[in-house]
A and B are shown apart, each in its own frame.
Chain A
């Protein structure tokens, strides 16, 4: 037998209590992981090197205000701009209001030069570009509705008074949000009787050094016009959405704190139960030559192991669960992705470790301070 074996034997002494405690710690860490992931999904838009080169030009007042199409020529002239596309949120309904997914009218030959990360079959892309009523759809939405290439769908406009009838000519995957549908801006414009507006412009700049000059140049060029613009990076644009969530972040933060606190309570009470019933044994260990530090290590190791077992079960369980279920479907599109990142996993486990250490300190300290003679007198 080794010391490690002894610790394990001690931990397994009351299997029922061990199981209950590990389960309650793991549930707490499962929740913690879930909440942190939810928080991250809500507040941390994905950022890639490509996304840093993407800019969005919108109406200065709000997203609900549109821009004249003709701005495109002036934006295209700004040095550093590689490609600009009209980009309009369509916000239509497919069959039923519950079937929400994002749809955008865009310029087909440009859109994947802006979203360079997305993977598209060149033949499909070509088919999408050539046909006026074609659309290209993200893989998640394709799977959600069981669509196939060649299917015809109709979107019912809510913001715009028209109902585009589209044919699916391609699928894209990876890199960007896989739930979007893109269709021709020209077709949209035709349906709207040549309204001549666009919701926003999305553009890609040459390199990172060009980002700020391009932003300044575009906004300066439309200052004091009927529709002043606001240009920002994709990340800033998405964070703008996030700040509108306001208190949600605080809410999730405080719930996480409560969960952690509850966990400390539960584990600490279990550890103190486990230690109190073993006071006499600990005194015997001291009598046969274990010193205070060694006894403390035994208790700490047991508590740490218990918390870590719960932590692994909870965190890794959350990770396994969320990587195997389709969160997009399960939350009806509320969460597009639900990635338990290594960072979140690590912080969950770190928390479990700390919890194990903290929760045993008080009872362990009491058992160390207790004299051998008093300990031997303890009855079970």
Chain B
């Protein structure tokens, strides 16, 4: 079956650019909104997915769903710290960090208002159990001092968080002595200080959770059994990575919004594409007649118009993807209900997300082109030639 060359469609799109430009841009905007919102959800998710070390175990009070609401007493901590199976460093210190989370309210640097920020009190091994985290400026806080280290993003987003500066929280004045880099993990939204200093400043007689590095997998499983079966502890143990993976549900509403917006907008854009294609078929009725006389089959005409619609939408899709690209890596923050604080993250545009955006565009093209193409193919030759 002879098919009509694609150049015919491309020429037509170019010649009729006035009518096509609105459709192309319409599709482009839909695709870029979709990619941007989804990039936001992706970024938020990947922040949680990238947090934690798969070897680590996190201990919380049974029944607690978040570190911030968990309570573990000092005696319980000490009991756990020397359990067998916990890895030890060169000085024979167990890789065990008793931790406590409090929230403080800090003012933003760039805008008015502020947000809750997590202050994590940790033991002396706090940094050692998190080998992925690097102190890039200054030094680590010292035990027994009201010092803290802040993540790079907290330093960039909030007031009084540069080395040498200090802020008030609880009963104490905290001096920033270092800045750490936590990659793209959730730790990038935290401030770290000595656990006992934090407990003192915020009047807590308890700790919140413990982070443990077992020697190996077997030891890990044994530790989980040992702690969870201890009735006096009443604790729950889970992998640190699993705890954070669970929080990816924070991205749920954003993801829902992205899907909802993209679906409704793309129906609108498909209508607009349909309008443009009907107009194209109308304007080229005589051409269609001529093509039929030249020997092209109905199906060729049908495919040619469908192809043109898909080309239009595809062009829109490419423009939409290009429009959204500059957003890749832009930092932002949102409120997390789980930790009750602000999580910082980056928009993440991945090739597969762009692929999904393009799929959206092509579906719009097909939906917009089906009916007009059918109309074009069904025109009787003589009628088409006469008009």
State whether A64 touches B268 (Cβ < 8 A).
no
A266 in contact with B22 given A97-B65, A158-B66, A334-B253 (CB within 8 Å): yes
Interface residues of B in 66-121 (CB under 8 A from A): 66, 68-69, 71, 102-105, 113-116
Question: In whole angstroms, how far apart are the Cα atoms of A143 and B143 in the complex?
Answer: 53
Query: Residue among A27, A28, A245, A269 with the most chain B CB within 10 A?
Result: A269
Chain A min CB distance to B197 (Å): 15
State whether A21 touches B103 (Cβ < 8 A).
no
Chain A min CB distance to B76 (Å): 13
Question: In whole angstroms, how far apart are the Cα atoms of A97 and B69 in the complex?
Answer: 15
Residue of A nearest to B335 (CB): A244
A273 in contact with B103 given A28-B268, A61-B169, A64-B340 (CB within 8 Å): no
State whether B275 touches A248 (Cβ < 8 A).
no
Contact with B along A232-250 (1 / 0, CB 8 A): 0000000000011111100
Question: In whole angstroms, how far apart are the Cα atoms of A269 and B17 in the complex?
Answer: 11
State whether B271 touches A246 (Cβ < 8 A).
no
Residue of A nearest to B117 (CB): A62
Chain B min CB distance to A219 (Å): 15
Interface residues of B in 32-88 (CB under 8 A from A): 32-33, 37, 40, 61, 63-66, 68-69, 71
State whether B272 touches A24 (Cβ < 8 A).
yes
The reply on A288 being an interface residue by CB < 8 A is no
Question: In whole angstroms, how far apart are the Cα atoms of A60 and B65 in the complex?
Answer: 25
State whether A23 touches B271 (Cβ < 8 A).
yes
Contacts of B63 in A (CB 8 A): 156-158, 161
State whether A21 touches B115 (Cβ < 8 A).
no
Question: In whole angstroms, how far apart are the Cα atoms of A273 and B104 in the complex?
Answer: 59
Question: In whole angstroms, how far apart are the Cα atoms of A245 and B332 in the complex?
Answer: 11
State whether B104 touches A269 (Cβ < 8 A).
no
A158 in contact with B69 given A243-B115, A262-B29, A269-B22 (CB within 8 Å): yes
State whether A158 touches B64 (Cβ < 8 A).
yes
Contact with A along B192-215 (1 / 0, CB 8 A): 000000000011000000000000
- Overall SS of chain A's interface: helix
State whether B202 touches A27 (Cβ < 8 A).
no
Residue of B nearest to A246 (CB): B333
Contacts of B363 in A (CB 8 A): none
The reply on B342 being an interface residue by CB < 8 A is yes
State whether B261 touches A255 (Cβ < 8 A).
yes
Contacts of B333 in A (CB 8 A): 246-247
Contact with B along A243-261 (1 / 0, CB 8 A): 1111110010001001101
Question: In whole angstroms, how far apart are the Cα atoms of A93 and B272 in the complex?
Answer: 48
The reply on B325 being an interface residue by CB < 8 A is no
User: Quick one: which of B22, B30, B275, B342 contacts A20, CB cutoff 8 A?
Assistant: B275
Contact with A along B161-179 (1 / 0, CB 8 A): 0000000011100000000
Question: In whole angstroms, how far apart are the Cα atoms of A174 and B68 in the complex?
Answer: 33
Contacts of A159 in B (CB 8 A): 64, 69
Question: In whole angstroms, how far apart are the Cα atoms of A334 and B254 in the complex?
Answer: 11
Residue of A nearest to B40 (CB): A251
The reply on A292 being an interface residue by CB < 8 A is no
Contacts of B265 in A (CB 8 A): 27-28, 31, 259, 262
Question: In whole angstroms, how far apart are the Cα atoms of A265 and B26 in the complex?
Answer: 7
State whether B33 touches A246 (Cβ < 8 A).
no
The reply on A194 being an interface residue by CB < 8 A is no
The reply on B23 being an interface residue by CB < 8 A is yes
A244 in contact with B64 given A21-B271, A61-B104, A265-B25 (CB within 8 Å): no
Residue of A nearest to B336 (CB): A244
State whether B105 touches A61 (Cβ < 8 A).
yes
The reply on B231 being an interface residue by CB < 8 A is no
Contacts of B275 in A (CB 8 A): 17, 20-21, 24, 266, 269-270, 273
Chain A min CB distance to B290 (Å): 17
Residue of A nearest to B282 (CB): A277
State whether A27 touches B268 (Cβ < 8 A).
yes
Question: In whole angstroms, how far apart are the Cα atoms of A258 and B33 in the complex?
Answer: 8
The reply on B128 being an interface residue by CB < 8 A is no
Chain B: interface size category? 35 or more
State whether B29 touches A64 (Cβ < 8 A).
no
The reply on B136 being an interface residue by CB < 8 A is no
Contacts of A247 in B (CB 8 A): 332-334
State whether A255 touches B102 (Cβ < 8 A).
no
Contact with B along A169-210 (1 / 0, CB 8 A): 000000000000000000000000000000000000000000
Residue of A nearest to B258 (CB): A255
Contact with A along B255-293 (1 / 0, CB 8 A): 000000100110111011011101100000000000000
The reply on B19 being an interface residue by CB < 8 A is yes
A30 in contact with B264 given A246-B335, A269-B275 (CB within 8 Å): yes
Contacts of B253 in A (CB 8 A): 331, 334
State whether B202 touches A65 (Cβ < 8 A).
yes
Question: In whole angstroms, how far apart are the Cα atoms of A262 and B103 in the complex?
Answer: 42
The reply on B18 being an interface residue by CB < 8 A is yes
State whether A272 touches B202 (Cβ < 8 A).
no
User: Quick one: which of B25, B114, B279 contacts A273, CB cutoff 8 A?
Assistant: B279
Chain B min CB distance to A94 (Å): 13
Question: In whole angstroms, how far apart are the Cα atoms of A261 and B69 in the complex?
Answer: 45
Contact with A along B2-27 (1 / 0, CB 8 A): 00000000000000001101110110
The reply on A118 being an interface residue by CB < 8 A is no
State whether A62 touches B104 (Cβ < 8 A).
yes
State whether B25 touches A248 (Cβ < 8 A).
no
Question: In whole angstroms, how far apart are the Cα atoms of A219 and B359 in the complex?
Answer: 58
Question: In whole angstroms, how far apart are the Cα atoms of A266 and B105 in the complex?
Answer: 46
Residue of B nearest to A31 (CB): B264
Contacts of A120 in B (CB 8 A): none
Residue of B nearest to A243 (CB): B113
The reply on A227 being an interface residue by CB < 8 A is yes
23 A–B pairs (Cβ distance < 8 Å), ordered by A:
A21-B271, A24-B268, A30-B264, A61-B102, A62-B103, A63-B103, A64-B102, A64-B340, A158-B63, A158-B65, A226-B171, A244-B335, A247-B333, A248-B334, A255-B261, A258-B33, A259-B265, A265-B272, A266-B275, A269-B276, A270-B275, A273-B19, A273-B279
Given A23-B268, A62-B103, 16 additional A-B pairs, CB 8 A: A21-B275, A61-B202, A62-B116, A63-B103, A65-B203, A97-B65, A158-B63, A161-B71, A226-B171, A227-B203, A243-B113, A243-B114, A258-B33, A265-B22, A269-B18, A270-B272
| 5 cross-chain pairs, A with B, having the tightest CB-CB distances, nearest first | A269-B22, A243-B113, A24-B271, A27-B268, A159-B69
